[in-house]
Structure 1
């Protein structure tokens, strides 16, 4: 999926921080001791499993910041589907720089590709339905922008980026306010007319109350597909419907068949595995 690249001003602080963390106080002791300063080489980043690539700009920047003489030529763009053995990028230049930046570059690339791959699997599972797959704010601290980017690369969409994007009244807000109606009243009294209001419900009774008060979107939490169908019928187009809870590639089709507009999934960013990619020097590429 072709997307605009993330601005350099957004990703450079993340890559710099990761490199500084890795270099520590004395730099790459192993590489500096073993590899001659003038040695130049060619290396390849290759896939070791099937998946969707994301994060190439961050990988490129990691090599560039360590040594601008390193050239990285990509064989696949973000969003490309790869198979074991596919060469994703070719690197040429100073061997020291390639080895020093390798782990940080791969950390970003493997992590974001893992998110994109997981997202693509759920998106594919609901391709026959109108529901969009969206991620949440359950992200790695400091990495939200790039993790949400990876979700978009995988064909998903983004929920709120931050608390100031919209009002989302959750169960704890309702408890403290004393009920659905009071929570909605307080929100409407406080925010401007351009701010959207979404409310989480876990029963059809709460949903009915929310619709009576008026709401832009409803988060239907941990409802069965049958209950979701009832909820969608009750809403009848008066609000955006979002299903949440227990959504996996296996359960997604049944949930999407209820007719909901959105399906939000926290694990896409908080606990997904990496896509296994590796860097090998010329003559050593392996699947």
Structure 2
């Protein structure tokens, strides 16, 4: 998945963020102090070690506000960057830079935080064959940005939305009465149109699922010892996924069980913002006097 910054829905998220910060009357401080013809160059500096994400979003915040802005960078999303690295330069009208500054920083700080936390998790399981997946637990209207940040951190994306695949969860099973009933009804509705994943909470549900051979079985909130026992029952032609309460402390232990996928929202829920700053390098005209 690659961000298409010409996508109007992505532009809309950025425009809404700019409008939220600039307000209905504009930047009353900068418009009072800065001459409209003043031009500047600013440097984007990272103040701690990080995995970079959101650079294209950062650039497009400025460009959507002022198409004449020039943003240059030799870095790219997914790069591991050291503290005090200059990541990008931003040149153009000083007023435009100051108006867009906080919004642009908010995006790149947030998304780089997710990428950095994702990379920490990936490194904890790098000696196994497990594939780390995200979830749909994302910030409203930020899913595409956050899922791209997760890719930058080295993990993979689970389904993007409800229309991509069938995932039969506990509430579906409760409504239908059994795993068997749910899988059979899905197959009656769709045939082989959609990949089918089913969540199981215990060995009884696992045995029901195994008889009907879904594409993926998700073990939700299983203890590690029970998961190890369960995986021995699953044939090679059914993929397996562990999910629920998986975090930075226990992910390595889950990875050692032999499960194929681990899905977690930890990288979104527990990511800390990365500290970036935008510093003036050159001002070509003086402020108003």
TM-score interval, smaller chain: over 0.9
CA contact (8 A) 1:75 1:87 kept: no
Confirm or deny that 1:6 pairs with 2:4: yes
CA contact (8 A) 2:3 2:144 kept: no
| SS at 1:235 equivalent | coil
Deviation, structure 1 residue 26: 1.1
Q: Which residue of 1 aligns with 2:223?
A: 224
Q: Which residue of 2 aligns with 1:53?
A: 52
CA distance in 1, matches of 2:206, 2:5: 40
| SS at 1:193 equivalent | coil
CA distance in 1, matches of 2:248, 2:235: 27
Runs of 4+ in 1 over 6 A off after TM superposition: none
Decide which moves more: 20-29 or 154-163.
20-29
Deviation, structure 1 residue 259: 0.7
Given the two structures, how large is their TM-score scaled by the length of structure 1?
Answer: 0.93
Deviation, structure 1 residue 252: 1.2
Q: Which residue of 1 aligns with 2:67?
A: 68
Deviation, structure 1 residue 273: 2.2
Q: Which residue of 1 aligns with 2:111?
A: 112
Aligned pair count?
A: 281
CA distance in 2, matches of 1:192, 1:154: 36
Decide which moves more: 15-24 or 55-64.
15-24
Unaligned runs of 5+ in 2: 283-289
Q: Which residue of 2 aligns with 1:249?
A: 248
CA distance in 1, matches of 2:242, 2:12: 35
Q: Which residue of 2 aligns with 1:262?
A: 261
Given the two structures, how large is their TM-score scaled by the length of structure 2?
Answer: 0.92
Deviation, structure 1 residue 260: 0.8
| SS at 2:90 equivalent | strand
Unaligned runs of 5+ in 1: none
C-alpha RMSD of the superposition: 1.6
Q: Which residue of 1 aligns with 2:126?
A: 127
CA distance in 1, matches of 2:250, 2:59: 37
Deviation, structure 1 residue 270: 4.0
